[in-house]
Amino acid sequence: MTDGITSRRGFLASSAALAGTALAGCSGGSASSDDTIQLGVLEDRSGNFALVGDPKHKASMLAIEEINNDGGIDGKQIETFDPDPQSDNQRYQELTRRAINQENVDALWAGYSSATREAIRPIIDREDQLYFYTTQYEGGVCDKNVFAVGPTARQQLGSVLPYLVEEYGPKIYTIAADYNFGQLSADWVKVLADENDAEVIGEEFIPLSNSQFGSTINRIQQAEPDFVMSMLVGANHTSFYEQKASAGLDVPIGTSTAMAQGYEHRRLDPPAMANIYAGVNYMEEIPTEHNTSEGGFVDRYFQKFPDAPYLNEEAENNYFSIYMYKMAVEQAGTTEQPEVREALESGITFGAPEAPGEEEIALDGATHHVDHHMWVMRADDQHNVEAVDDRVIPETFLSETVGCDLTQEDEETQYTPQDFYEEAG
């Protein structure tokens, strides 16, 4: 999930300029031997984020195994440095330093939360380390070393909110986790409401420690919104869905956080997730040939990991980004990181599981983000999930509003909607 932005106002520069001696690492070079490529995969398999992090690690291992079995990258086999960070940001920092300075990784995949990303990004930027961040997140990172390939809040909320306005009406009640991810996502709800002639009639921020939602449910019922936008996060907040069902709250709920990551529709008893609409780039249930056909992504994943409980959104992002890295190395003809970065910025496309038919998703070189095929997925009373809408949504905040172009100017900055939208204030 997403947290760890230090301020809601003003441009959020990375900590690359903080005092301290630069780490003595590979400095953007290549660690590969004559016959291997070294990738770092630091994903949580224990601790608070194990539920969502373990599928990311598994999907990475699947991609690497497939690539190695198919001859590797330019004939080189991939080796991995993949200790468990245990959902601990201090350990992430230690392992990131080790990955760069001792293991000499050619590229790094690391972290579920934005707090983790922001904890290691100063290290990444001091070392000019090629880094893939794959979680859906609040958006706004314009950093020459970071490829943030998960969908942004504007892409996720921008798929589900307009759909719900059209289907149910313009009155919105927002509930969100009371930290930076939830606050920024609520800002995006305001921006998107304004763009879709809708109105936020109520807004609540819920502490992460809170697991009792009776008063919130009462206020939602009294406000009589056409739908709720929920950006709740974590195990405690999961109880909202069970409690709203017990209270008879049957208003439609849009979300960027539920179902696709923590698979609540599989873990909770019906009808807790009834009438939930998730804006996602991937769920195990999306109906594409790449995903659900015989021998498709789902089949291959569960053949390798038969005891895995679910194939989540971030897992697909890890999977396709490793293939994009492979394509970039082969295009560059080297694992030297500046050349690989340049190849990635040239516009890599890939037939990811989220993409229907012959469609491919595209990596936007200027922003280091992906123009995702976004889906609106609805759960019914029995928690069966179906796609009710889908379309490609480019990442436009950085490209059009901010003007981020990393092919022309190096940056290490995170921007927020409050910097550019009056209605987000």
The mean pLDDT value for 266-280 works out to 97
What is the chain's alpha carbon radius of gyration, rounded to the nearest angstrom? 21
Averaged pLDDT, 52-81: 98
Going by C-alpha positions, the residue among 330, 305, 301 that lies closest to residue 316 is: 301
Label the pairing between strands 369-379 and 276-280. antiparallel
* Token pair for 4: 């760890």
Q: What is the pLDDT of residues 1-33, one digit of tens each?
A: 544 333 322 333 333 333 333 333 344 445 555
Residues 6+ apart with CB under 8 A from 80: 38, 39, 40, 41, 60, 61, 64
Contacts of 190 (CB under 8 A, 6+ apart): 200, 421, 423, 424
Q: Do the Cβ atoms of 415 and 386 come closer than 8 Å?
A: no
Residues 283/291, Cβ–Cβ less than 8 Å = no
Homologous superfamily (CATH) of 36-151+287-372+394-414 is Response regulator (3.40.50.2300)
Parts of the chain belonging to CATH 3.40.50.2300: 36-151+287-372+394-414, 154-280
Average pLDDT, rounded, for the chain? 92
Nearest to 349 by CA among 371, 317, 318, 334: 371
Cα distance between residue 205 and residue 186, in whole Å: 9
Provide the pLDDT for residue 32. 54
Q: CB within 8 A of 324, min separation 6: which ones?
A: 149, 344, 348, 350, 363
From the centroid of its chain, how far is CA 149? 7
Give pLDDT tens digits for 304-355.
Answer: 999 999 999 999 999 999 999 999 999 999 999 999 999 999 999 999 999 9
Neighbours of 126 (CB within 10 A): 22
126-165 pLDDT per residue, tens: 999 999 999 999 999 999 999 999 999 999 999 999 999 9
The alpha-helical segments, DSSP class H, found in 9-152 are 50-69, 89-101, 114-127
What integer pLDDT is reported at residue 31 of this predicted model? Answer: 52
Per-residue pLDDT, averaged over 282-311, amounts to 98
Fold of domain 154-280: Rossmann fold (3.40.50)
Contact, 88 vs 47, CB < 8 A?
Answer: yes
Question: What's the pLDDT tens digit per position in 371-418?
Answer: 999 999 999 999 999 999 999 999 999 999 999 999 999 999 999 999
